[in-house]
Each structure stands twice: as C-alpha cells, then as structure tokens.
Amino acid sequence: MRRDIFINVSPFEKRIALLEDGRLTELVVDKPDNQRIVGNIYKGRVVSVLPGMQAAFVDIGLEKAVFLHAADVAVAQEGEIDDDDTDDDVDPRRRDRAEKPIDQLLREGQEILVQVVKEPISTKGAKVTGYLSIAGRFLVCMPNTSFIGVSKKSRDHSSRRRLKRLVQDLRRFPDVGYIVRTNGLNETEEEFRIEMGFLEEKWAFIKSVASECEAPRLVLEENEAAVGILRDYFSEKVDKVVVDDKDFFQKTKAYIRQLSPDLVSRVHLYEEKAPMFDTFEIEPDVQKVYADKVWIRKGSHLVIQTTEAMTTIDVNTGRNVGKDDQAATILDTNITAAKEIAKQLRLRDLGGIIVVDFIDMESEDDRERLVKEFKKALRGDRAPISVAHQISQFGLLEMTRKRVREALVKTVSEPCSHCEGSGNVLLPSSVVAALERWVRRSQGRGGPKEISLVLHSRIIEFLMSDRAFAFHRLESFGVTIELVEDPDAPADSFRIFHTRSMEELTPQHNVA
C-alpha cells in the first residue's frame, strides 16, 4: 500500500492529509487559536474531591478544572505485570489493583502530575489521568512501573517474547516501563536504544520541571498535530511527505532527520502557485468531509448527523434498487456503505456513541456477513472501537469509537447565531483560508489582478484585524483587492467580481 502525507500550511490553519493508495483516509485541521492539549502533562492542584462520584476536579490552569476519576489516580506498582494482550491505548498500571475510595487517595490542595487524555468537548471539561505515558514512534514510555508489553497487533508469541527480552535488556531504569507499539514490531535493537534514550531524557526533564514549579503549571506540551502525525505514521512505508511552506518544510526535515536520517530525502517542498491540495486532487475529497450526505454509487448514499448525544448514520438505496435479486442488491449496498462508513469515521474523526441504520435485510446470514465485513473495514482505524455483535431487532447496529477531541466539523465551524445553535457556520479563519486558496488558484491560472470581494461584516472584520495581516496576506499573491461589505451575505460565503468589468468570477461560494 502506498502512503503519502501532505501538509498544507497557512497562518489560519494547518491541514494534514494522509493518503493511502491515492485515497484520502485521514484529515487533521490544526488551528493556532484552537490548540490541542491531549498528551500535555501538567502539575495541577486538587480543588475538590467528590466521594459520591469517586472523582476529583483538578486545576491545571485552564478555564475549567479537569476531571480525574479514582481509577486514574496513580498508585505505586509492585512487581512486573505480564500481559500478552496489550494494546497501544491500554494502561496496565490500572489493572488488577485494589481500588481505594477517592478521599483516601487525594485531598484538596494536593499537588499532582496529570496528563490530558480527552480534550474539552462542548460544555465538558478535559479529562486527565495520573498514569503518565510518553509516546515515541516505536515505544510508549510509562514511568513508575516495571511493566514491559507488546502491542496486541502482534500475534506471534515468540516474537513478542523476543521483543520483551530486548526491551528488558536495554532499559536503564527499573521504574520505567515500556510498550512496544505496532510501528516498532519490526525495528532493530539500535532503533530501540536511541528512542529509549530520548524518552528517558523527556521523563527526566518532566521530573526536573515538576520539582521546581508550583501548580498549576504546564510541564510538557505535546507536539502539534502535524508532528504527531509524522511521529505515528512516518516510516519506510511512507513514500513521501509534501509540505507547501518553506519554514515548516525545514522543521519537518529536521524532525525526520532526528527520527530516520536515511529517510529525510522523502520530504519534499511544494513550490507551485496553484494550491497543493488542488494539484494532487485532494481538495474535492476534503470538501465532501463537511457534507451531511455522502454519495456511494448508483444513487445510494449515507446521511451523517451528529448531535450532543450521538452520531447517526442512515444508509439509503436511492435509485440503486436492482433489477432481479433485491436481497442481493441490498446486501451489496450495505457492504459498500459499511466500507464507506469506516472511511468517514476516520476522516471526520467521529467519536462517542454511533448508531448505523443499514437497509433492512431479512436473512440472518446476510446480517451476520454485514457485521463481519464492517468490522473488517474498521481494522485500519487507530482509534479504539467496539461494535455490537449483531444488528438489533430494529435494524440498527450500535458501536462506540473513542473520542479524545472534537469532531473535525467542530474544529472548523461554530454554532450559527441565526439558527440558535441547531447548525454550524464556518469560522472566519476557515472562510479566509478558503478565500486564500481561491486567490492562489486564480492567479496560478492568470486570473485578473483587480478583484472585489463581497463579504459578511464578520469576515471583513477578521481580514482587517491585527493590522490587516490577513488582508495583506491575500494581496501578497499579486492581486489588488476591494472589500465590499454585505450585511445580508451568508456568514461563511464569499462572492468575487472583476473590479473593472464587475463580471462575477464565482457564484456565491460556501466553503463548507
């Protein structure tokens, strides 16, 4: 399988696209005003202990205190835990211990080290754990335990034993445990030695900072999303990484040089005038990610809708009704839909409770086959997923997908003031990012040098804020711009006219 990573950089957002065999399979949008905090380690102060909830709230310096459950309060481990079914997300330090009441573990005012495991979502604050972990490419370092484990993706028991012995022999500190990640199953002793040294230096840094500071305080910041993608995905299996910004290209090369010096030649700088996602035909697939309706084939489609409580996915046949064997047509449509749903879950980063309403099937064998095919399609997803064993009597298949951050659409949009929160309107930064792509695309094709933009006042306000940085950025592509405010214009659209002829160059453009 061919894998490529494309990183599109602008001052307003960074978009990281992972392609497998030319198909967009994952998309991450990173905004400077919406920094992710999952993985960050803080020195916090306990502000309240709630025995009735078996939980505590901890001040780590954010707007809201974070949630810490009793099961996530770190306690000392005795001896080595052995487990042949370890996954990258499973923390063995939580297992097989006698749980004490929260008020016997923590007290108000106590200072503790915690790590964010779930972003603040909607009205809920962040969730943290006292069991720290430091992720590398091949290993996960787990301080304060002697545990050594191997990702359960490896089912070869002799290989698992060999890797455990290797890590056991290489580690320098008995109170620092490790899990060999899926990426590390075939790595060499030297690669492990280098990474273990790097991870142990990080742990020493964390202890040093934590011992000298007062809570609340950020002790270690997790890498930005683009660097995290490179850490988790970049290997000899990745054919190329393409970056369209010189500064971030140099940063990416430096990071890859640190990880795998022999693979740094696979990092490329994109320097063409046309937007990179256009050139590599990624943009059309990106735009589909924000739509509720996803077309499959022959008129069949999915309708994906997310609420506060859950995500529902409805499978519709449309015009695809078949000519002869209707049951076979329905099964074929459902299986095709299942594969597309697996893709959309990754692309949209959907999490929590998910309910799929497949097309009704009378045959029990067909229903069993559909569930089997769906689970097979989900294997490529990094997120922990649990799927019901069978379709319910109402024709629904229930599942959960671990949610650690907001869904992708929530990253680039905000509640619409006109519909009182029942829908979403794109952030001004997302509209301007799309506008920038339009300008670059136009100038790459020799478009007019003088244009008029008809925009909602909130977009104009964003363009002219911060010494008109965004406005000057647009004009830096060789075009003179006149701004026309239209208070009745949709808040996430723009219209563009040739200034001299007033010919409309694009219909009203909704960037979602």
Per-residue pLDDT reduced to its tens digit, 179-232: 998 888 888 888 899 889 989 999 999 999 999 999 999 999 877 777 777 887
Q: Which residue has the tokens 């306990």?
A: 46
Residue of 288 and 422 predicted with greater confidence: 288
Q: Which residue has the tokens 């202990």?
A: 49
pLDDT band at 490; cut points 50, 70, 90: confident
Task: Name the pTM for this structure.
Answer: 0.77
CA dihedral 188, 192, 198, 199 (to 10 degrees): 150
Taking alpha carbons only, the member of 412, 512, 421 closest to residue 30 is 412
Pairing of strands 127-129, 134-135: unpaired
> 446 phi and psi, to 5 degrees?
75, 35
SS3 of residue 214 by DSSP: coil
Query: Is residue 69 scored above 80 in pLDDT?
Result: yes
Burial class (CB in 10 A: 0-12, 13-18, 19+), 102: buried
Q: Which domains does the chain possess?
A: 3-35+225-284 (3.30.420), 51-220 (no CATH), 289-408 (no CATH), 416-510 (3.40.1260.20)
Please give the radius of gyration of the chain, using alpha carbons only, rounded to the nearest integer.
25
pLDDT of res. 320? 56
Compute the average pLDDT of residues 146-173: 87
Q: Contact at 8 Å (CB) between 353 and 310? A: yes
pLDDT of res. 158? 86
Q: What is the 3-state secondary structure (H, E, C) of 146-199?
A: CCEEECCCCCCHHHHHHHHHHHHHHCCCCCEEEEECHHHCCCCHHHHHHHHHHH
Range in 165-169, 371-375, 414-418, 497-501 the model is least confident about = 414-418
CA-to-CA dists, residue 220 to 47, 122, 508, angstroms: 21, 25, 45
Residue of 380 and 459 predicted with greater confidence: 459
**How large a percentage of the chain has pLDDT more than 90?**
59
pLDDT band at 308; cut points 50, 70, 90: confident
pLDDT of res. 87? 45
Taking alpha carbons only, the member of 1, 147, 171, 128 closest to residue 79 is 147
Considering all CA atoms of the chain, what is the largest pairwise distance in Å, rounded to the nearest integer?
Answer: 79
pLDDT of res. 79? 41
pLDDT of res. 185? 86
Query: Is residue 278 scored above 90 in pLDDT?
Result: yes
260 is written with which tokens? 């795998």
SS3 of residue 493 by DSSP: strand
